[in-house]
Structures are given as C-alpha cells and as structure tokens.
Amino acid sequence: MRFFPTIYLASGAIAAVVAPQNDQPNCILYHRAEMAEEAECGNRDIIKACFEKLETQAVPQLEECYKSAGCTDDKASILALGAEERCLTKIAGGELRKRSRAVLEARAPEPTYMARADDLLENAPGLLGRATTSSSNTETMSGSSCVTASLTKVNTCEPRSSGGGSTCSDVEQTSWVCTPGWTCSFNVEGTHICMVLHNSLDVAGIIVAIVMAVGAIAGIVTITYLCIQNKKEQKRLTAKAEATALARAATKKKRAAERTPLNQGGASAPPPPATLSPIAPEARWLEVLGRGARTWEVYKRRARVVGGDSPKRGVHLAVSRLTL
C-alpha cells in the first residue's frame, strides 16, 4: 500500500504546477519564442522580433507580425485568429506535461532490481560470453552541428501601438544553410534535424526500377495480345457471316430453280392461243367455212390421210382442228 501515497503526492504536485499556468491571461506574450517557432509561414526570426515588441496579444497586431514576416494576408489572418488556441493546447500544454513528468520522476521511488538470468549466465563459470552488438545511427544529426548560420538584412515593418500604420526598418535575419550532402528540417521543438541525402541509385532502387519496368512491359504485351486476338475474332466473325450469306443465297437460288417450269429451261415457250373476236356463232362458222374453202385442198388431202377410208370423218377432223 506504499504505492498510493506516492501517487497522491505526485498528483498534488501536478496540480500545483498546472494551476498557476492556466491562470495566465496572455499565453502568447508568455510564450513569444515558442509561438514564433511554430509559425507555418514567413521568417521565424522576424516573427519572434515582432512578438518581443508586442504589449498585447490582439489579433490585428499578431496579423501584422505574420504579414511583415512574409505570410500572405489569408494565412496571416488564419494564424492570428488561432494563435491563442494553439498556444494553450500545444505550447502551454506541452510545458505542463514536461513539468508533470519531471515531478513524477522526482517523486517516484527508486526501484530495486533483481539479478537477470542473462547476467547469471554471463557470470557463470565455464560458459562463453554472449556476443553483444552496438548500433550507432550515423545518418542523422540534430542541433546546430549540421547547419551553418548566415546573416542577411531584411526590411521588416512593425505595427504601431497608437495611430495605426507601421514602422519599417532593416533587421538582420539569421538563415541556416544545411551541410552539403545532408537534408535539414525542424522538429516540433524547433531543433534542427539533419539526415544524409541519398541521391544515388542503390541496389534497392535498381530492384524497384526493374520490377516496375517488367510490370510496364508485361502490361504493354498483354494489351497488344488482347488487341490482336480481338482483330482475329472480328475477322473470323466477318468470314462466318459472309459464308452464311453465300449459303443462304445459294439455297434461295436452288429453290427458285426448282420452282421454274421445264419449258423455260432454254426452249422457247409456245405462242399464246389465238383469241377470237366476240362475234355471233353464225358469223364464226361462216369465217371458219371461208378459211376452210381457201385451204380445202390441203384439208382434203389431210382428210384422206387421217380419215383413211372415211373421207367425211377426215373432213370433220380437219374442220374441228381449224376451229381450235
């Protein structure tokens, strides 16, 4: 049960640290340097110098500081409106967490350690020592050891506390140049972080490039193959449609030939029968007899040949043929 009094003491210390911080009405003025470092645009040194001269944390004055450092009007307005909230949540909250962590570490009792099995094995006689490896990260650095500072003059404008307007002057600005072969940036706390810049193509890059090239070639080959197959299929379907059309035409021609009469197969058709004019039966018989008289000799001979021994029968046959 000794653990609970320690927690109570630590909680009381945290409350003692947190209480005065939350009572500060001007968080931005209290954390000027931190607020300048967390700016997302413009020159941080110019913003810091402008914040040092502020007497109040009014939004227009903050906006003028951001604009004088090189921020756009919209960005400066956004940063000025949310400056107090960012100060309370990020900067002041981070400081409180650091203080509370320090209090807990100071109040926490020192733990007692028992001998580990690894230590026993290493110290045991007759056993070989275990190989240990130590790794050091030589590709990253932090702080000012990886950057070089250079001073440049920049024309900055500061807002006036009364009367409006701003006063412009030349301010020396510190710019940081990264070490050749390294890439540099800032962390959350505003400390320089540098890493080795890899611009050469190593084995992993070559493997990735080969894999991507093989994938691209495979995609092109697949698309080409599918296009060729599609063209072949289109040709096959076209040939099939043409063959079907020819077969249907041949079938229709054959059926039409089967329906055609035999007398139309090269022989001339007989002339249509003669039609008699619509006349009276008596006149028709007179016409028949007249034609028979003109060809009497012919029909007489035919009557003899056709009729044989009965010439009357032959005459009747000749007359009937004439009428037909």
pLDDT digits (tens, 9 = 90+) for 106-121: 444 444 444 444 444 4
Question: What pTM does this model have?
Answer: 0.27
Residue 138 is predicted with a pLDDT of: 55
CB atoms under 10 Å from CB of 306, counted, come to 16
The 10s digit of each residue's pLDDT in 144-182 is 677 777 777 877 777 777 766 777 888 777 777 887 878
Range scoring the smallest mean pLDDT among 35-39, 56-60, 160-164, 190-194: 160-164
Residue with tokens 């012919």: 298
d(CA 15, CA 23): 12
- Would you place residue 306 in the very low, low, confident or very high pLDDT band (cuts 50, 70, 90)? low
Q: What percent of the chain has pLDDT over 70?
A: 54
The 10s digit of each residue's pLDDT in 65-85 is 888 888 888 888 888 888 888
User: Average pLDDT, stretch 80-99?
Assistant: 69
- Would you place residue 308 in the very low, low, confident or very high pLDDT band (cuts 50, 70, 90)? low
The 10s digit of each residue's pLDDT in 116-144 is 444 444 444 444 333 333 334 456 776 66
Taking 90 as the threshold, does the pLDDT of residue 226 lie above it? yes
Range scoring the smallest mean pLDDT among 49-53, 179-183, 189-193, 227-231: 189-193
Contacts of 182 (CB under 8 A, 6+ apart): 141, 146, 194, 195, 196, 197
Residue with tokens 């009276």: 280
d(CA 36, CA 29): 11
Domain residue extents for the chain: 3-109+139-196, 201-248, 281-323
Under 8 Å between Cβ of 317 and 307: yes
- Please tell me the total number of residues recorded for the chain in this structure: 324
Residue 231 is predicted with a pLDDT of: 94
d(CA 3, CA 25): 37
Under 8 Å between Cβ of 123 and 62: no
Which residue from 321, 37, 33 is spatially nearest to 191, judged by alpha carbons? 37
